[in-house]
């Protein structure tokens, strides 16, 4: 390979793998006794992923303790584990699906602190972003960002974007997770999928390890997602958790688990305002698919001649769902737009797009920092613009040229 070819490849790699750090302003926080105030309860059967659950309304969720604040001040969101469900006919077990009243524009940062995640055979929990459809549009016209999601006895998180054709995860992105599918309009409906490779990101291991935190950066320059176990949560997150006025500096967030830079997917085109969704369904079009459920080693009735996901799990007294609950101290959101952040939920969905970088189509729009070890140093980025990022990339390229 010629020196010029090597140089070109390295410069291209630099452009496509660097994420801009930024300062974000506190926006909307879901925590404490008011955690549920910012959400709507679905109040209908699962008619999207066709799990055998009825998502209850707020009154039932409160009365039957399916959504409440525990003695530690944390939100509990759970599946009914006390009601007997008949094995005959089409039956549903009660569960909860929350959708944020607020719409979140590009330029929003999300952080979930979780102590316990739902898991178990047939269990399909997720925390995700659902694009706000215009009249006449159908999914996935406004996109979907699957941030925290797994099924059955999986021990790792899975992340994905869903879109119409034209959005892809670029090859060779800088992330710690393992890319499985690059086409976000994948015909299997899996989206462009990345599997978490850090240990204890889901299931029993997550819960036994004290839980952890998940971050998501929704930006013109791309979408990035992180996971940290309880002992590796960045100081920028832990030190601001009790200060509602503190800004968030992402420069210590390190390598993302999943990276979707705008070089492969024009974020402004495929992902307008998003609503935050938290839900737990059972069986359905992923966890309950025969080919999937029968491969779930350790689940009752699984295997080549196994029974259905419903009969093996949902039917009965529900005691097998004792671990099917979220325990969430908080979900915090931040905005690059200080004015929008100051207005809080009253302004959600009405603000203009903000970005750490420049619009899709510019090479530096895909920037990604790597734990400040060769990444952009803290403070290098001019807030709300690509100037600082562009200057840092230029300096990086000048430095690289000495070795090429």
Catalytic annotation, residues: 144, 149
Backbone angles phi, psi at 139, to 5 degrees: -60, 140
Token pair, residue 283, equals 């069986």
Contact predicate 367/376, CB 8 Å: yes
| Rounded Cα–Cα distance for residues 134 and 314 (Å) | 36
H or E, element range at 320 = none
* CB-based burial label for 382 (10 Å; 0-12, 13-18, 19+): middle
Enumerate the β-bridge partners of residue 213: 113, 228
Token pair, residue 99, equals 């959708």
| Rounded Cα–Cα distance for residues 185 and 99 (Å) | 24
User: 256 preceded by cis ω (within 30°)?
Assistant: no
Q: Where are the strands (E) in 309-355, listed by range?
A: 325-328, 330-335
Residue 162 Cα distances to 138, 194, 277, 387, angstroms: 13, 12, 15, 30
Contact predicate 310/86, CB 8 Å: no
Closest CA to 52 of 288, 302, 324, 279: 288
Q: Which residues contact 6 (CB under 8 A, 6 or more apart)?
A: 404
Enumerate the β-bridge partners of residue 279: 97, 126
Q: What is the DSSP string of 96-107?
A: -EEEESS-B-TT
| Rounded Cα–Cα distance for residues 244 and 3 (Å) | 52
| Rounded Cα–Cα distance for residues 160 and 195 (Å) | 9
Closest CA to 387 of 361, 366, 356: 356
């Amino acid at each position: 390979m010629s020196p010029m070819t090597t140089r070109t490849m390295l410069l291209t790699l630099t452009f496509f793998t660097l994420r801009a750090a930024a300062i974000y302003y506190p926006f909307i926080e879901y925590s404490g006794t008011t955690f549920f105030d910012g959400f709507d309860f679905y109040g209908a059967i699962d008619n999207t992923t066709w799990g055998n659950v009825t998502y209850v309304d707020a009154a039932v969720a409160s009365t039957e303790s399916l959504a409440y604040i525990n003695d530690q001040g944390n939100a509990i969101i759970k599946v009914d584990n006390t009601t007997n469900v008949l094995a005959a006919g089409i039956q549903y077990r009660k569960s909860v699906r929350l959708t944020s009243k607020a719409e979140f524009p590009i330029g929003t940062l999300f952080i979930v602190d979780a102590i316990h995640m739902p898991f178990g055979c047939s269990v399909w929990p997720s925390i995700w972003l659902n694009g706000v459809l215009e009249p006449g549009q159908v999914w996935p016209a406004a996109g979907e960002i699957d941030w925290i999601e797994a099924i059955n006895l999986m021990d790792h998180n899975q992340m994905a974007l869903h879109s119409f054709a034209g959005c892809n995860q670029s090859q060779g992105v800088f992330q710690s997770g393992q890319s499985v599918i690059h086409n976000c309009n994948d015909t299997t409906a899996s989206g462009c999928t990345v599997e978490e490779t850090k240990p204890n990101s889901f299931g029993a291991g997550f819960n036994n390890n004290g839980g952890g935190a998940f971050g998501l950066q929704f930006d013109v320059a791309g979408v990035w997602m992180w996971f940290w176990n309880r002992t590796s949560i960045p100081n920028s997150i832990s030190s601001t958790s009790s200060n509602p006025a503190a800004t968030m500096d992402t420069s210590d967030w390190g390598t993302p688990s999943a990276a979707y830079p705008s070089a492969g997917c024009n974020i402004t085109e495929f992902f307008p305002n998003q609503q935050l969704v938290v839900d737990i369904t059972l069986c359905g079009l992923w966890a309950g698919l025969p080919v999937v459920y029968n491969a779930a080693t350790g689940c009752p009735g699984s295997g080549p001649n196994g029974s259905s996901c419903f009969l093996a799990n949902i039917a009965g007294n529900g005691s097998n769902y004792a671990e099917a609950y979220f325990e969430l101290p908080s979900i915090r959101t931040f905005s690059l737009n200080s004015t929008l952040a100051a207005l809080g939920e009253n302004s959600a969905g009405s603000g203009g797009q903000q970005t750490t970088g420049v619009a899709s189509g510019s090479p530096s729009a895909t920037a990604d920092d790597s734990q400040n070890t060769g990444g952009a140093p803290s403070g290098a980025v001019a807030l709300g613009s690509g100037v600082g990022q562009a200057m840092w990339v230029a300096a990086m390229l000048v430095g690289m040229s000495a070795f090429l």
